[in-house]
Amino acid sequence: MSNNLKFYIDGEWVAPEVPSTLDVINPATEEAYTKISLGSKADVDKAVAAAKRAFATFSKTPREQRLALLKKILEVYNERYEDIARAVSDEMGAPMSFALEAQAWAGRAHMEATIAAFEDYKFSEKRGSTLVVKEPIGVCALITPWNWPLNQIVCKVAPAIAAGCTVVLKPSEIAPISGIVFAEVMHAAGVPKGVFNMVNGNGPDVGQVMAGHPDVDMVSFTGSTRAGIIVAKTAADTVKRVAQELGGKSANIILRDADFETAVSKGVEGCFGNTGQSCDAPTRMLVPKERHDEALKIAKVAAEGFKTGDPKAADTNLGPVVSQLQYDKIQRLIQTGIDEGATVVTGGVGRPEHLNRGYYIRPTVFGHVTEEMTVAREEIFGPVLSIISYDDDADAIRIANDTVYGLAAYIQSQDINHARAVAAEMRAGTVNLNYPDWDTFSSFGGYKQSGNGREYADFGIHDFLEIKSIVGYGD
């Protein structure tokens, strides 16, 4: 029996207090394929009350018990792995290969990393005669986005449980089905009543209510900077901790000593991954001024090598964007790029010619982009790359850092010492040298308007803890 119209509260699947539904749209077809219920303040109150009751006992459970629980969750997650991937493909249009190898994989990998970090995590230390202890912060409201649903759900739920917190999760209402499957995983794993709760709904009626709830001790939010500001303002009245992972406009500096063909081609691939719907995507490619036209030729070939189409087709590697709203925004920004004088190297407005429905974007590369252009400054969140010229290293560093965001940066060079020197100048939470593999044991989070706090492994656990010093504790 489907749980799509229910919420998970206090260990049970329950109907909403006030019936209200929302169609879930498959972005490949533009058609509704299921419905979810939308929550209200009454549902949030119920879920928070359950989490508050559970915290009294769960916060005192021994590490071994919470560790065993996380391992059981991972076991059940792996049993439902293909269901999770199918849910992501249906709700956000991810090609099935990507849903299996990246989207569902991210949830598994972060659960494994949290477990490994938790096994060795130190919850207390002596400083002279003072004992410093780390204790669970309390009831946590977790608000997650649609673009990497399992990545963000697990990056919040797993460390919160490791810390001894209890949670209320609000997945994105645009891509909610993978969150429902995850709640089924938690139930099957035997998570104690009230430790994990899930309420679907929109931002104003559920997300903001959670953020402002007096019995919520912390909000962990991932989404747009605009929405993050609203969450932070709402949470401020109760002076609760707010951790945020927000927008980005990450620079990819191709240094003069890089393997140019490889660096530019992989840069296009990195920008277009997940159909460009990643907050840390390398969307601004910075190239030496004298090699700008060479970069455009390489980028054109790389972009035109992507196969856009049905997410269920084996050869598709670029699906639709998630919604009509996103499609319209991206089309507007592509047109703005054209109007402001950027060169369309490939792509442009409209759908790919072979597609007449679905929220599909033509893979687009802009050349001769200048720093003040809209496409160089706004987060587009689609398969759109802007290529910008620089004079020397200092100029590249200046351009890269000239943004309100600071989530990620990318440096390409055949001289690792050169790459490291430039990395040291980046104002970004993660700096990637020469396209490394995804490291789930690194920290993840941003500078400036890309947020605050850090996720992944032990960094994530730390954010869900309070620090208490017992002075005069003795030897």
Q: How far is CA 44 from CA 38, 68, 197, in A?
A: 11, 29, 10
Give one DSSP letter per residue of 44-112, joined into a string.
Answer: HHHHHHHHHHHHHHHTTS-HHHHHHHHHHHHHHHHHTHHHHHHHHHHHH---HHHIIIIIHHHHHHHHH
Q: Are 395 and 339 in contact (CB under 8 A)?
A: no
- For residues 404, 407, 413, 415, the Cα torsion angle rounded to the nearest 10 degrees is 110
| Residue whose pair of structure tokens reads 């990497």 in the numeric block | 148
Catalytic residue among 173, 245, 379, 455: 245
Residue 155 annotated to the active site: no
Tokens of 36: 């979810």
Catalytic residue among 155, 165, 271, 279: 279
Question: Distance between CA atoms of 281 and 272, rounded to whole angstroms?
Answer: 8
List strand residue ranges (DSSP E) for 211-337, in order: 218-222, 241-245, 251-254, 284-288
| Residue whose pair of structure tokens reads 């620089």 in the numeric block | 390
Q: Are 438 and 398 in contact (CB under 8 A)?
A: no
Q: Which of 386, 272, 273, 371 is nearest to 333 (CA)?
A: 386
Percent of residues in the chain assigned helix, strand, coil, to nearest 5 = 40, 20, 35
Tokens of 264: 């530019």
Residue 140 annotated to the active site: no
Question: Distance between CA atoms of 321 and 69, rounded to whole angstroms?
Answer: 35
Question: Distance between CA atoms of 193 and 186, rounded to whole angstroms?
Answer: 10
Tell me which residues are annotated as active site: 245, 279
